[in-house]
Structure 1
């Protein structure tokens, strides 16, 4: 019931955002971000934080107040929100708790968002901020052998992308591990078991998913049905990636009530507009084996009641098949966005603490 009420409040804010968008006052996502950012930041006596800018990129740096004689782990965190909502303020409690409970230095990247900035800007901001941090580890008291990239939802997409982009960059410390929390890892198939089972789950319905997809790809919402039916890609593309996207790679216990859907014939117009989804920026799950096999150790958190649940399961299998160490946590009562309820008072959900505990335990073992 609490989740339904929270969902209704989000829909109310979203509806007002659409009204302001129609009136050309601001975009829907700008209004939602404005309302979310009204929440005051709570301070923790054991954690210090400050606002910085790496060039034009806003970041927040968190570090434990207690002194230490040894360098701490470093965490680069990319917040979620589909590129349209979410901010450094909405995730402040997560950064604070993660810093305190893992005794780590946390850099939160405030990448610029849609619709004012495109996907290329989001990608560039994440890469530039990460490189800047990696070059300044001594300044922040971070151990160069224990740097972790981390993200929830679209932030998980960014973390996986960073692993690929900075894999063999000279003169930079190697990323030690990556943590993905209900990450979005492919944009091809929207008929996976979790997509069918969770299309109307609160906070992340299929309608909002496609709003984010349309914003990210800069395409018309009218293509939704064609994309849902698989008409946006030719048969040879589906055949090429079947080995990685096949629901057969998902354990049977996650396929209750699942009904396979045959792909509709190709719609050339949709394909011309959406073929960029084959790029690793949108679909890190499609990275070739010879590259993904070099990825650092991973911690993957999936949630049962999540439209994107199966992305984590498919990514986990790929890494394990390639010999990359994986720590997996599945939250049976979890849902997309659960982690952000850590400091929501009456809208707090215990699963958020279990997700945070899984992350901190993993970091402490590195």
Structure 2
């Protein structure tokens, strides 16, 4: 019995050590945050094992989280909710029932999930978009774009752009009672990436007459060139998006070829002939001083030109909105950016804010010092965090004041 008990204790200790994710001291409700982080880490390890054994693709295992979170469209006393299609792309539509004395506001929303995961019908996204519709008495269109690895870039961008362009038609806006002067494009994480790319592309599209009033980007991924920013280093193993997973997401967005992920992991994927683009992500000039402490700038090592020729998407501004020239960025609408201190994508958002402000674009930047990536989505049991409710409240309040 003693030997069995000792063995059990040793196995338990090793398992706890292996699965343990350090939680920064300033994060509220640390034990709950640790349980959230551990749950995601366990799923990641299971996905890794299944993938290496050739049983199922890594992303297919993680999609179990998406499937478990799915809720069917359900209307309530304030909102009519239904799944439909806009221009052959699946969307979840939220229509307020409350009367409005004037035309309504609208939000077009893109979910996160590294371009590989997620669904507008996930419980967390359904709550975010439902509450946005209810609080703002606004029409909300939440887009189910195609996902990798079945569909690579630019499929995801094309889907969300198609929906947005369709919705912005005067006849469609009129059908849903939407004020063409009060439309927002928003998204979180990979969805924030897509939102920024869509708004930039709309500026170049002569067929689109409706102007976006505001864009709201929630801890967005905005660049593919430098994957060794201070935030990538400082938050290498923070919940719930370690550097290794973010690089896997980037790689899967473009190709199944592991050589791209391997080059990204060593920050040696940008060819020499594209090095002029590094000025747009030079963190030594674009980050606040407090974020640069303890770090010395080193430009990414030039990579093989063959990667960029085979997979040019990672140098495409539709995949990396931070690569847009100033002439395009200065035309952007009022912008909201949420960044989180303990997030590998923190510096993407900070550099974007810096560039926009330097060009005179009105920007509201909310930096959550005590939050990690994805925090705003943890708003329902059993993964409910106070920080999630706080960030969501601030986001909706900003929309209410500025849209």
Taking structure 1 as reference, are residues 171 and 280 closer, same or farther at Cα in structure 2, changes over 3 Å only?
closer
Aligned to 1:38, what secondary structure does the other structure show? helix
Q: 1:40 to 1:132 in 2, by over 3 A?
A: same
Residue 295 (structure 2) aligns with:
258
Pick from 341, 350, 360 the counterpart of residue 313 of structure 1: 350
Give the one of 359, 364, 369 matched to 1:322.
359
Q: Do the aligned residues in 1 keep the contact of 2:283 with 2:297 (CA within 8 Å)?
A: no
Of 69, 76, 100, 2:134 maps to: 100
CA distance in 1, matches of 2:298, 2:208: 48
User: Are the equivalent residues in 2 in contact too, given 1:219–1:273 (CA < 8 A)?
Assistant: no
Instruction: Verify: 1:137 aligned to 2:173, yes or no.
Output: yes
- Counting only pairs closer than 5 Å after superposition, residues 183-194 of structure 1 correspond to structure 2 as 183-194=220-231
1:33 aligned partner? 63
Q: In 1, distance between residues paired with 2:163 and 2:351?
A: 29
Alignment of 1:136-155 (within 5 A): 136-155=172-191
Contact 1:78 1:159 in 2 (8 A): yes
Trace 1:5-44 onto structure 2 (pairs within 5 A): 5-18=35-48, 20-21=50-51, 26-39=56-69, 41=71
Q: CA RMSD for the aligned pairs?
A: 2.2
Give the count of matched residue pairs: 365
CA distance in 1, matches of 2:43, 2:360: 45
1:363 matched residue in structure 2:
399
Deviation at 1:282, TM superposition (A): 1.5
Given the superposition, is the C-alpha separation of residues 66 and 2 from structure 1 closer, same or farther in structure 2, using an over 3 Å criterion? same
Q: Deviations over 1:257-288 (max 9, x none)?
A: 32433533543444444543121122100111
CA contact (8 A) 1:164 1:292 kept: yes
- Identify the residue that residue 26 of structure 2 maps to in structure 1: none
Residue of structure 1 equivalent to 2:239: 202
Q: Which of 255, 275, 282 pairs up with 1:238?
A: 275
* 2:334 corresponds to: 297
Structure 2 counterpart of 1:110, from 144, 160, 166:
144
Secondary structure class of the residue paired with 1:119: coil
Task: Name the CA distance, whole Å, in 1 between partners of 2:296 and 2:120.
Answer: 39
Partner of 1:129, secondary structure, is helix
Question: 1:303 aligns to what SS in structure 2?
Answer: strand
**Structure-2 residue corresponding to 1:48:** 80
Any unmatched runs of 5+ in structure 1?
none
Give 1:102 deviation, angstroms: 2.3
User: Residue 60 of structure 1: SS of its match in structure 2?
Assistant: strand
Q: Does 1:216 align with 2:216?
A: no
- How far has the Cα of 1:199 moved from its partner? 0.9
How much does 1:238 deviate? 3.0
> 1:117 Cα shift?
1.5
Moved more, 147-156 or 14-23: 14-23
CA distance in 1, matches of 2:224, 2:208: 33
TM-score by length of 1: 0.92
Question: Is the 1:64–1:99 Cα contact (8 Å) retained in structure 2?
Answer: yes
CA contact (8 A) 2:189 2:219 kept: yes
Partners of 1:51 and 1:263 in 2: CA distance: 44
Which piece of structure 1 moves more, 271-280 or 182-191?
271-280
| Counterparts of 1:82 and 1:230, CA distance in 2 | 19
Q: Give deviations 1:130-158, integer Å, cap 9, x for gaps.
A: 12211211111211100000000011111
Aligned to 2:33: 3
Q: Does the aligned pair in 2 maintain the 1:193–1:247 contact within 8 Å?
A: no
Distance 1:233 1:31, change over 3 A: closer
Q: Which residue of 2 aligns with 1:84?
A: 116
Alignment correspondent of 1:66: 98
Cα distance per residue 1:231-258 (max 9 Å; x no partner): 2224453344325423221111122332
Residues 207 and 266 (structure 1), Cα distance of their counterparts in 2 relative to 1, 3 Å cut: closer
CA separation in 1, counterparts of 2:42 and 2:110? 27
**2:199 pairs with one of 163, 166, 176:** 163
TM-score after normalising by structure 2:
0.84
Does structure 2 conserve the Cα–Cα contact (< 8 Å) formed by 1:72 and 1:104?
yes
The secondary structure found in structure 2 opposite 1:323 is coil
Flag the structure with larger Rg: 2
